[in-house]
Structure 1
């Protein structure tokens, strides 16, 4: 039983401890914390927030169901203070027990049975939340065929040999394969150099064993299982978890897992807080209201993502032909709803804006009409001049030029070819019929 001076105050905030309070079972000597400090996860000295703990309360019976542990402690203190036999004073200070009850209970359990041991209470199982993931070497590691995707993912691990096809510092053996120690004719410097190379090789062998031990201890051979563990974290912190893996060697497996799980738990709490803030902004204070709100919000999102015909008219509001096409489409839809089968007119494609050819090479050689044509059909000046020369030269050779022939000569959009052909005919650069 704890003394009152040991449990008088919390060592962190110095406030008086009231039941229930927290007992750290991992620190020696044991540390008692108030619930406020425990909830904030305070750490001081050698105490850490992830230590095993127990909840201390004295509302449980020790010998009789009517007498709690707190009553037992109070009774012993009052008997020591008032003396044995002053049951009237003891009962007055106990307040909830009569003098006869105090006398009977004390005599029965502390006088008549003085050597009876206190009852043993099973220790509650200490659990962590979230529970850390302990990696273990698989008893039956995968044995993929050589060259398969899984074999590549396992970094060349050969399960049958328990080894890797490519070692750390794989070609270090080449440095000492030709080393020989001669009995005579070798000076001390050469011998020291050869010895240093061998010591470097031994260091490399130790490093190989250390890396293999890390891989086995953390279960990194089973690559698929490791990836499944990564996907169990929140999507927003997966990149942080992957970047922290290089520091896993600086911690024990339990410490590393606890740290990553703490980051994940923090992100989950942030997500829950954001949801609660959204609910509060919308005036929701009941869980049943939140469920209805979430359902209606998902419906509204689906509806907003659907394309409406009104978007067509809004996106082509300055295009008269597009507006007219939209109106015709609305009329057709109304007729279809009345049972009249009509084909729906397709909305025309929005025309591209004119091309700004100012400053482009060859622009100064074109006339004003040719510049306007290049801008409207979106042709660069050099391409226009080249197409013009090809069509004029073919017309001079054959005596005339048809539109079909022009389309075979220049491989561009047929509408652009038609506008270019009509311009050259109109300006007299080429002729459609033989002269």
Structure 2
């Protein structure tokens, strides 16, 4: 059988000048004299060549390497050459390079012969052991900000009039004007031509695709927040069925404002549960501080706590009344001092 470099050479019959696609007959006595099987069987003679000259059969690569495979030697070499040029997995390009095999046939032959077959067991195992073993730590994007979360939320429950005002299309669950509404311009006219684009052009175009995907993720995040927190219902304040939220004190409002930025990372129910837990923690800390004050004053019973609070309140009231009395007395003294000063200077007279 011919060497690998000869498998893709074209051979012409010296007698009929037709291309030989299968076995060829080479004359031992005549230099560069070959015949196809048909001319050889007819006893063709030309020039110094006689049909009684010794000969030998030559293979052009159409014989199968493995009897059960059905692949010829030239096809096997074309497969390996295509794998090296196009990379594993690009079966369409590999099939076009082989020309005589489909992408599925090329894939099955390479896996069964060179990965899982006898050749693969000898060659692939040492190479596999030398490769770094990496762990896939990625997780599916099904969190509260992932695309999967959008499917769990119902469409906006609004009237047709409100939908018209918002530009909302209930059947599509979409808005006429989205966030970053011109983001599609990044990829609308984008195309990659491997024959003309260099590495820098391809990198810039892939960066445009990444920018577009980031805009789509931000759209999904904003829609999810709008639905989960019922922002549309809050926008249309005339909706009577909207439940009224319990009125908060000034201290509670300031406390909740500190955690308002966290609402975009969790659902409405999770955020409400977080705020309730924080309010509960705040109340417990205040109660524990009060109990520690009772303990430091030697109070160990509930009745003593009530009496202690009453005495503390009475003492605070008494202190406040004393401060007000002292303040009034100071004011009277100041008025008398000013009056005496005015009389002594003759600015006012006494009757």
TM-score (norm 1): 0.28
Larger-gyration structure (1/2): 2
Ranked by relative contact order (alpha carbons within 8 Å, sequence separation 6 or more), the top structure is 2
